[in-house]
Structure 1
Amino acid sequence: MTHLLDRKAWRDRPKLELAPGLDLARARLHEVCGAARATFALWLATQTEGPVFWIAPSWTPHRLNPDGIADFTSPARFTFISPLRPEDVLWCTEEVLRSGTVSLVVADIPGPPGLTSVRRMHLAAETGATEGKVAPTGLLLTPGTGGAPGIETRWQMEPDHNNEHNRWQLTRLRARTAPVQSWQVSGLPHKARTHPVVTEAICST
């Protein structure tokens, strides 16, 4: 019988830190949306070691370019899985998380999954962390403004066209233990720099 760590035991779970105050808990499922969501996923990959599994439907027109990956990390770390059926994308994600052998599992999906699927992937990630070799992190790439229910955090990353090349606007839209916050990101992939952005919506509380 599988004995999972409860939420209290995972209060101080390990994290992937992109920058001070900007981190994602391991052994949980997160979501990123926006036009630069793939860039966010590659940035996150730089904070992990070992293989990265990238799962996307076989009919998805956009594929990662190895040259683009190489700007962030070695393309040899990536295994691409292209299921033929929509339901197999989430099933593959769940199974890889459960294995506890892959540090980062990215699922590029056409729309947010339901709550039951999200809960299953959370459970799979925690199972992998307790029974496998690594604490896996799951990341959903969703179109539009996202909206997967029950995820640990939701992020939105967009190119910042109002500033110089290679700048982005990153917003933490949802987190269980942190407020909404935006950052201006530059210097990717080698010298990432983040600057908090103060907005009226954040200051009005």
Structure 2
Amino acid sequence: MPTHLLSRKPSRDVPGLDLHPDIRLATGRVHEACGSARRSFALWLAGRFCERKAGPVLWISPAWEAGQLNPDGMMEFADPARFLFVQPRRAEDLLWCTEEALRSGAVPLVVADLPGAPALTPVRRMHLAAEQGGQMGHAPIGLLLTPGEGGAQGTESRWHMTPAHDGQARRWRLERRRARTLPPARWLACQTRPRTGLHLSRTEVPDT
């Protein structure tokens, strides 16, 4: 279902972190990234925080998952030494850890690598926690990584990213599928050199 514009307020007026002139993630809010390259999206975002020396990035993931982040792969986007990793052993602790980390305001970016999309109530609690964290210092950003097509309810925005590599060229397809004040959009993202972020070119807008 397409997302309708709720406001004509320019995105430049919203406090947040810019990934691109057309892409800003609001601080003090929780966003969602899905798709097979969702972790690449998260590392791209983390790399921007590392460039600004904004503090460590907290990455929360299930202890029972066999696949964990590989430092060699992370190096393409950000310094692995700038990350703190938390691996809860119980499913119910994943969202609790995310909420408490946002509330503390101790880190600017909290990434929660989840096995499934959370319901509306936990997301609302995380929004409130992120707002409270902003009162302790700089408002953090929460990013929920969900498998497949995602579907977390109540997030500020939803991003879908999949690989589109061509030979040695590192490329991805990025979609903004949901945002409170912006319409859906698509980009082709490419990386020319490690730790230089991604270069985006606008492609066709998804059918509504």
Which TM-score applies when normalising by structure 1?
0.88
Query: Match of 2:18?
Result: 17
**Which one-letter code corresponds to 2:22 in the other structure?**
G
Q: Determine the C-alpha separation between the residues in 2 that align with 1:115 and 1:39.
A: 25
User: Structure 1 residue 12: deviation in Å?
Assistant: 3.9
* Equivalent residues in 2 for 1:1-205, closer than 5 Å: 12-48=13-49, 49-130=54-135, 132-161=136-165, 165-187=169-191, 189-199=195-205, 201=207
- Structure 1 residues 191 and 76 mapped into 2: Cα distance closer, same or farther (>3 Å)? closer
- Identical-pair percentage: 54
Q: Determine the C-alpha separation between the residues in 2 that align with 1:73 and 1:181.
A: 26
**Which one-letter code corresponds to 2:29 in the other structure?**
R
Q: Determine the C-alpha separation between the residues in 2 that align with 1:59 and 1:26.
A: 30
- Structure 1 residues 77 and 59 mapped into 2: Cα distance closer, same or farther (>3 Å)? same
Q: Determine the C-alpha separation between the residues in 2 that align with 1:99 and 1:154.
A: 24
| Number of aligned positions between the proteins | 192
SS of residue in 1 equivalent to 2:63: coil
User: Structure 1 residue 71: deviation in Å?
Assistant: 2.0
Unaligned runs of 5+ in 1: 1-10
Mapped contact 2:77–2:197 kept (Cα < 8 A): no
SS of residue in 2 equivalent to 1:63: coil
Q: Determine the C-alpha separation between the residues in 2 that align with 1:127 and 1:200.
A: 36
Q: Determine the C-alpha separation between the residues in 1 that align with 2:35 and 2:197.
A: 22
- Structure 1 residues 200 and 162 mapped into 2: Cα distance closer, same or farther (>3 Å)? farther
Runs of 4+ in 1 over 3 A off after TM superposition: 161-164
**Which one-letter code corresponds to 2:47 in the other structure?**
T
Which TM-score applies when normalising by structure 2?
0.87
User: Structure 1 residue 201: deviation in Å?
Assistant: 1.3
Map Cα deviations across residues 119-165 of structure 1 (whole Å, 9 max, x no partner): 000000000012x1221000000001000000000000000146763
**Which one-letter code corresponds to 2:202 in the other structure?**
P
Query: Match of 2:7?
Result: none
Aligned Cα RMSD in Å? Answer: 1.8
- Structure 1 residues 26 and 201 mapped into 2: Cα distance closer, same or farther (>3 Å)? same
